[in-house]
Amino acid sequence: MSLIETKGLRKVFRQAVKDPGLAGAVKHLFTQRYKDKCAVEGIDLKIEEGESVAYVGPNGAGKSTTIKMLSGVLVPSGGEVVVDGLVPYKQRMDNAQRIGAVFGQRTQLWWDIPVRESLALLRDIYQVPESTFKKNMDAFTELLGLESFLHLSARKLSLGQRMRADLAAALLHDPKIVYLDEPTIGLDVAVKHRIRDFIKEMNRAKGTTMLLTTHDLGDIEDLCERLVIIDQGRIIYDGKLQDVKDAFARERTIHIQLSSPLPEAESLFRDLPDVSVNRPGEGAEAAFSLSIRFDRFRCTASDIVKRVMNRGEVVDFRIDEPSIEDIIRRVYEGQLDSVVLAEAGKGSA
């Protein structure tokens, strides 16, 4: 059995249907109408110990709802969920000992007491041994740079400070599993990196299993090897991040700098299908640079470079990495065939 396992996990919310305005609200008092909103529609997910998984999807896809069911905050409407041998919503206390959760949109710290006191309270709640508490406090203070605001109440913290304090709070009791729901939302670049480094370190040093939702694709690239994409409550891709990149980045571009112009570059690739040559830049500069687009299922970057090197002197070259941004956007927009997605997910899922 996997550390986290769900089968056909579902959540249906009952949403009130109201006409707009006060009249609508009054009318709703007398004739209540509801419609069911299926936020999560049958999620099958297996996560092994030590994995770091990105759980992404467009707004409203059902990510937070899934995480709330995994952490025991919400009771599922159907299906099964077992986390480290427990059913989270039934065994909430035992489950809480094994998990940590950070919800970027809200804090688990007490608003009005100093962060240091909040952390001490959590120590008591989770019955963290004094030695562990001290060790973690020292490490977290250092890694997350907490020192300057430990004496402030959560109310007074900036967003970036609050998020760092929340991370410390979530990990204080050495949980096996950490759920991170948008842990870098609204943060500046430096704090983002600090948080990513911290998450990486916890995953590496303690083998903490991580499930992360984010709209920041940098988080995914930095933290996760496995990517699960959901849309409208269903999984549409589950596999390696690299596989999804490989599958969709058919087209690559190689940029070459030459020491002397190569006007006949086009002719070098006549026999190769789908190769196009561009000369970026203007005037003289354009003569010394080539951007060659090719289909990497039909030829390789080294084919291309070799051919150019046979005719001219290559000073420098670089290959554009497929942009995860572009790939995910295409997945969200439904441009990618689900068959292709399934193919890409095979073998690694």
Ligand X SMILES: Nc1ncnc2c1ncn2[C@@H]1O[C@H](COP(=O)(O)OP(=O)(O)OP(=O)(O)O)[C@@H](O)[C@H]1O
Instruction: State the Cα–Cα distance between residues 202 and 102, nearest whole angstrom.
Output: 14
Binding of residue 64 to Mg ion (CB under 5 A): yes
Q: Give the contact letters, 92-131, x = binds to Mg ion (CB under 5 A), - = no.
A: ----------------------------------------
Name the binder of 214 from ligand X, Mg ion, none, CB < 5-8 A by kind.
Answer: none
- 71 token code pair: 């952490």
Binding of residue 57 to ligand X (CB under 6 A): yes
Minimum distance, C-beta of residue 85 to ligand X, in the bound complex (Å): 25
Indicate the residue among 60 and 85 with the shorter CB distance to ligand X. Answer: 60
Pick the stretch among 56-64, 73-81, 88-96, 121-129 that binds Mg ion (CB under 5 A).
Answer: 56-64
Indicate the residue among 13 and 288 with the shorter CB distance to ligand X. Answer: 13
Pick the stretch among 28-36, 41-49, 63-71, 108-116 that binds ligand X (CB under 6 A).
Answer: 63-71
Indicate the residue among 9 and 265 with the shorter CB distance to ligand X. Answer: 9
Instruction: State the Cα–Cα distance between residues 231 and 229, nearest whole angstrom.
Output: 7
Return the residue of 6, 62, 277, 292 that touches ligand X, per CB under 6 A.
62
Half-sphere CA count of 306, side-chain side, radius 13 A:
5
Q: Most distant CA pair in the chain: distance in Å?
A: 83
Pick the stretch among 52-60, 78-86, 139-147, 310-318 that binds ligand X (CB under 6 A).
Answer: 52-60
How many residues appear in the chain?
Answer: 349
H-state helical runs in the chain: 21-30, 63-70, 92-98, 115-126, 130-144, 159-171, 189-206, 217-223, 241-248, 283-288, 301-311, 324-332, 338-345
Minimum distance, C-beta of residue 58 to ligand X, in the bound complex (Å): 7
Indicate the residue among 183 and 322 with the shorter CB distance to ligand X. Answer: 183
Q: Give the contact letters, 247-286, x = binds to ligand X (CB under 6 A), - = no.
A: ----------------------------------------
Name the binder of 15 from ligand X, Mg ion, none, CB < 5-8 A by kind.
Answer: ligand X
Instruction: State the Cα–Cα distance between residues 130 and 205, nearest whole angstrom.
Output: 20
Indicate the residue among 58 and 114 with the shorter CB distance to Mg ion. Answer: 58
Pick the stretch among 60-68, 168-176, 188-196, 245-253 that binds ligand X (CB under 6 A).
Answer: 60-68
Instruction: State the Cα–Cα distance between residues 38 and 232, nearest whole angstrom.
Output: 8
Instruction: State the Cα–Cα distance between residues 158 and 346, nearest whole angstrom.
Output: 43
Indicate the residue among 13 and 126 with the shorter CB distance to ligand X. Answer: 13
Binding of residue 186 to ligand X (CB under 6 A): no
- Report CA-CA distances (Å) from 349 to 243, 340, 345: 10, 14, 6
Indicate the residue among 167 and 290 with the shorter CB distance to Mg ion. Answer: 167
Bridge pairing between strands 234-240 and 226-231: antiparallel
Instruction: State the Cα–Cα distance between residues 12 and 330, nearest whole angstrom.
Output: 28
Binding of residue 65 to ligand X (CB under 6 A): yes
Return the residue of 10, 63, 192, 226 that touches ligand X, per CB under 6 A.
63
Instruction: Say how many residues touch ligand X, by CB under 6 A.
Output: 12
Given a contact cutoff of 8 angstroms between Cβ atoms, the answer to whether 317 and 309 are in contact is no
In the numeric block, the tokens 């065939």 are attached to: 337
Interhelix angle 130-144/189-206, nearest 10 degrees: 140
- By CB under 6 A, name the binding residues for ligand X: 13, 15, 37, 39, 57, 59-65
